[in-house]
Amino acid sequence: MQLTPPAPPLAVQMLTIAEDDAGQRIDNFLLRICKGVPKSHIYRVLRSGEVRVNKGRIDQTYRLVEGDIIRVPPIRIAEKQTQVVAPGAEFKILLEDNHLLVIDKPAGVAVHGGSGVSYGVIEQLRAARPQAKFLELVHRLDRDTSGILLLAKKRSALTNLHEQMRDGDTDKRYLVLVHGDWQNERQHVKLPLHKYTAADGERRVRVQADGQASHTIFNLIRRYGDYALLEAELKTGRTHQIRVHLSASGFAIAGDDKYGDFALNRTLQKADGQRVALKRMFLHAYQITFAHPETGKPVTLKAPLPPECERFLKSLSKDIPAAMSEAKGDQNIS
């Protein structure tokens, strides 16, 4: 692994705003280009007037216009001993054009660095594509979740897709395997979710009355004895929403090490008779529908279940009576 010291910007920079950077706020632009600089320092130099746009003073809410000339003052970053350089990597591509890059992310890979992870998908893709002027995550997936991940190659595409997601115009669906006697063919779960930090520093989510409104629809695909394969349809996009909604409803996701059944997970990690081992969380983002940010035409993309999940389902299906795979009922939980 290559290590290199950081290179803080210690001289005045004069930057010209290109099309891809137009429309964003000056504070967000500075936070992006001045990696490692605390937010408090960025806002301090903005308030002091050291940052100028077209030789004039601006405040932190100013939105950049193509052709703007930005004066960025010398900013000293507290030096770190080492900085890990992400190795370049590519992932299975589901769609790529001048506006979008859509990949099939494997389980076990973080989407970005932080929280004990030196780098993730975004850093690896940027390292593999040094010529790319712009590459940003449109949304996130948990480290242990596999499947469809959208990245924007233009600022306009990022803004457009964020608006679609805020307005509920995108359709994201997951495949998830739960343990328990799932009864309903279609089930709505509407439970408010609250984010908090646990004693060990981990980010967690729980159901709480004053939390954010959250809504997931679960469709039964097939039963496998004591397990059920579900399609999760997101109506809101909260952190850990599917995992917490299922856990609070009494159904553990197979392999979920945060909200699942820990004793069950230990059992699943070892093969048992005809059943193969499952050494990951069974949650996969398998389908998304959105309007293309340039043409406005609908785009639907699918990512098949990873081989390890397919193998696990096949091992569960052996010797299970056909009657056990029938779906029934409909119920709302709120």
State whether residue 169 is helix, strand or coil: coil
Q: Taking Cα atoms as reference points, which of 88, 98, 89 lies closest to residue 151?
A: 98
Task: Say whether 261 sits in a helix, a strand or coil.
Answer: coil
CB atoms within 10 A of CB 322: 6
Rounded to 5°, angle at Cα 63 from 57 and 64:
85
Residue 54: closest CA among 103, 15, 6, 99: 15
Q: Which residues contact 329 (CB under 8 A, 6 or more apart)?
A: 183, 184, 185
Which residues lie closer than 8 Å to 93 by C-beta, 6 or more apart?
101, 102, 103, 104
How do beta strands 100-105 and 227-234 pair? unpaired
Angle at 155 between CA 150 and CA 159, to 5 degrees: 70
Round to whole Å and give the CA distance between 20 and 31: 16
d(Cα 67, Cα 190) in Å, to the nearest integer? 47
Name the residues annotated as catalytic.
142
96 and 102 Cβ atoms separated by less than 8 Å: yes
